[in-house]
């Protein structure tokens, strides 16, 4: 099951998700994931709006921007959105077969 984010705004529940098609549409309209670090002010609302394309296509941009402006825990949300955005690609990467040569890793943050 694909990862999703559910949020409620003015009594309406929105299910946010990225599909390959919505990512294609975003990239076609000029969005690049690198922009999140290079131009966060414009890229983050676009990333957020792109998550509406899959299931909430007909939501107006003004409503999306209003939701984004009023959202709490924005930093955490952005992290989750990036994870969500990466999923359609990550799901296509094959895990290597179990082998002695496999390289494990762990983060300290």
| Inter-residue contact 67 to 14 (CB < 8 Å) | yes
Query: Does residue 1 interact with another protein by CB under 8 A?
Result: yes
Q: Which of 5, 19, 35, 82 binds another protein (CB under 8 A)?
A: 19
Can you list the alpha helix ranges (DSSP code H) found in 6-99? 20-28, 35-38, 40-50, 61-70, 74-90
Q: Which of 7, 15, 71, 89 binds another protein (CB under 8 A)?
A: 89
Q: Smallest distance from the beta carbon of 66 to another protein, in angstroms? A: 26
Q: How far apart are CA 51 and CA 54, in angstroms?
A: 7
Query: Does residue 37 interact with another protein by CB under 8 A?
Result: no
Query: Does residue 57 interact with another protein by CB under 8 A?
Result: no
Query: Does residue 87 interact with another protein by CB under 8 A?
Result: yes
Which residues sit at the interface with another protein, rule CB under 8 A?
Answer: 1-2, 18-21, 23-24, 27-28, 32-33, 54, 87-89, 91-92, 94
């Amino acid at each position: 099951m694909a990862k999703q984010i559910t949020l409620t705004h003015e009594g309406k529940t929105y299910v946010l998700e990225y599909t390959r098609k919505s990512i294609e549409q975003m990239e076609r309209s000029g969005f690049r994931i690198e922009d999140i670090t290079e131009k966060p002010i414009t890229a983050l609302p676009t990333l957020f709006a792109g998550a509406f394309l899959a299931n909430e296509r007909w939501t107006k941009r003004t409503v999306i921007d209003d939701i984004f402006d009023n959202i709490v825990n924005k930093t955490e949300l952005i992290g989750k959105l990036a994870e969500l955005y990466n999923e359609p690609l990550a799901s296509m990467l094959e895990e290597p077969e179990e082998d002695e040569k496999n390289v494990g890793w762990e983060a300290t943050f």
